[in-house]
Amino acid sequence: MKRLAFKMQLKPGYAAEYQKRHDTIWPELKQLLKETGIHHYGIYLDRETNILFAALEIENEATYAALPQHPVMQKWWKYMADIMETHPDHSPISIPLEEMFYLE
């Protein structure tokens, strides 16, 4: 397994909506993430800055890298684009973070 972490920017005033949308995540998206080999995926919010911090484990880098081409993923990004900072294709602007310490 490989551990990854990244940050994204939530638009001000949308924390409750972000939480609501993830509390009711689409079953087909949840299944896709599992089929892609994603495990231990968590997203955390810094309420002072509206920065979202995500951490996950992946089984296969190539499978994970292909995820943005999947129609369900693209549909989810479009659904979330109104409350997050995104690229023109609606994918969230995510900044990879470098692992500095990990205790197993």
Q: Give yes or no for a contact between 77 and 83, defined as CB atoms under 8 angstroms apart.
A: no
The span from the CA of 72 to the CA of 62, in Å, is: 18
Compute how many other C-beta atoms are within 10 angstroms of the C-beta atom of residue 53: 14
Distance CA 101, CA 45 (A): 20
- Name the active-site residue from 22, 39, 40, 87: 22
pTM over 0.75: yes
Q: Bin 13: left if φ > 0, else alpha if -120 < ψ < 50, else beta.
A: left
What integer best gives the mean pLDDT of the chain?
97
pLDDT 10s digits, 47-88: 999 999 999 999 999 999 999 999 999 999 999 999 999 999
Distance in angstroms between the alpha carbons of the first and the last residue of the chain: 13
70 is an active site residue: no
Domains of the chain and any CATH numbers: 2-96 (3.30.70.100)
